[in-house]
Amino acid sequence: MSMAVNPKPPEKMMFQLTLRRRGISDQAVLRTMEEVPREVFVEPRDRDDAYRDSALAIPCGQTISQPFVVAYMTERLQLHKDHRVLEIGTGSGYQAAILSRLCKHVLTIERYRTLADSARKRLEGLGYYNVEVLLGDGFDVPAGAGDFDRIIVTAAMEQIPDKLLQRLEPGGILIAPVGPHQGAQTLVRAVRTETGFERKDLVDVRFVPALPGVAREM
């Protein structure tokens, strides 16, 4: 007598298949993308579309990145379990949630109070206690936060500030979308070496702009 097994929802099956077809091969990243419930991080009206490979709108004029971009950026960070990671641009908290399952600690900085508060609540509700959500300016990371093994920027910067690069530990990796605020940017990967920084352009992307300061409203 065979036992009935509930199949995965079709959209979850396509979600994983799409990531693999587009070149994501790191098994830890794929497993984490499978386990973190993306539907919790989108607006209620968009939950039926949570696993489509597209960006979705969230409050304050921001977006949650498409799954492939989240997986791609995460894979290129080459995370280890003992890493401290800085994220600039918390948004809904989805990228931080993915990072948290693959490293020791995540400090994520958000300039909109509404987003910071809701992301903190979501992450705590899921038991992702190794994430610290900070309301602040991603262009002015508090000195007391120390340095980081990895830095990920999830909003477009016209150029990577040198003082952000200087927060990388030796051998550390930074990934950020770099380019004009209006139009496409290039995802850039910078590695801190003994003599400076090795920079490599990866793929074209499109992110909302990274803006200095803490937003006065929202």
What does the pLDDT look like over 191-201, one tens digit per residue?
999 999 999 99
Domain annotation for the chain: domains and CATH numbers: 10-205 (3.40.50.150)
CA 82 to chain centre: 18
The 3-state secondary structure of 93-115, one letter per residue: CHHHHHHHCCCCEEEEEECCHHH
- What is the tens place of the pLDDT at every residue in 32-51? 999 999 999 999 999 999 99
Q: What's the pTM?
A: 0.92
Q: Which of 2, 25, 54, 65 is catalytic?
A: 65
Task: Assess whether 92 carries a catalytic annotation.
Answer: no
Burial class of residue 162 in the structure, from the number of CB atoms within 10 Å of its CB (0-12 exposed, 13-18 middle, 19+ buried): exposed
Mean predicted confidence (pLDDT) in 47-70: 94
The predicted pLDDT at position 9 comes to: 62
